[in-house]
A and B are shown apart, each in its own frame.
Chain A
């Protein structure tokens, strides 16, 4: 056998110019990971309701605190962003939206839409949900 040849490796992220779609790809993954651990909150909430007034009281006082609300706000945004970003991935999966302006447009739509939906949900929650 001949000696092993050190072939060039394929360039990694730092070689490329930073692009919006690249950054949002990372955000999609990051929000997915955040939502993964955020399911603890959902399970805690449901278990608290099923357990009784005492357990529900502990959950309520946590989620009602400024820190709890901050987490919940972040969770809402992560969910809305991941949802819209996911729809964008569906468009790509179906073979559309690969043009330069299309892919940028889709990405901006997911980014702005995620923020708008989050704010909208919180306004509605405070308006009618008895959001305290």
Chain B
């Protein structure tokens, strides 16, 4: 469709662009949550590194016991949840920057959501299972 088709010609340029900017979407909230989750992970990174160090070289039973400890489980859960939101938002920005075909963009955004939810839920499930003493 060209800009000078008769139907569009009668509209003012302002009318054509209204609602297409940041105000028409959740972009500001996305920007904000990208940073909230980043601060969260910044706080959690040292405990998480310590936890990973504690687990190195252990067998399954030993690793499971440490990961099932309430404080460790909670720290890992917080990190996994924050990273899930952070990576979903980050990949959304990448998709919107590089994929311009609407259909492909929709598929990519869906795939991004499914991947982020599935991967993080797998981690959350594993931690909950280990910490519930089964």
Residues on A lying within 8 angstroms of B by beta carbon are 1-4, 29, 32-33, 35-36, 39-40, 42-43, 46-50, 52-53, 56-57, 83, 86-87, 90, 93, 121, 124-125, 128-132
Contacts and interface: CB of A to CB of B under 8 A. Distances in A.
A33 B87 CA distance: 8
Interface residues of B, number: 39
A1 B2 CA distance: 12
Contacts of B122: 43, 46-47
A126 to B, nearest CB: 9
B126 A49 contact: yes
A50 B60 CA distance: 8
A41 B129 CA distance: 18
Interface of B: 2-4, 9, 35, 38-39, 41-42, 45, 49, 53-61, 63-64, 67, 76, 80, 83, 87, 90-91, 94, 119-120, 122-123, 125-127, 129-130
A124 B60 CA distance: 22
Q: Is the interface of B mostly helix, strand, loop or mixed?
A: helix
A118 B25 CA distance: 38
Contacts of B94: 29, 32-33
Contacts of A130: 56-58
A1 B8 CA distance: 10
Given A33-B91, A46-B126, A46-B127, A56 B59 contact: yes
Considering residues B2, B54, B125, B126, which has the most beta carbons from chain A within 10 angstroms of its beta carbon? B126
A94 to B, nearest CB: 10
Contact of A36 (B58, B61, B91, B129): B91
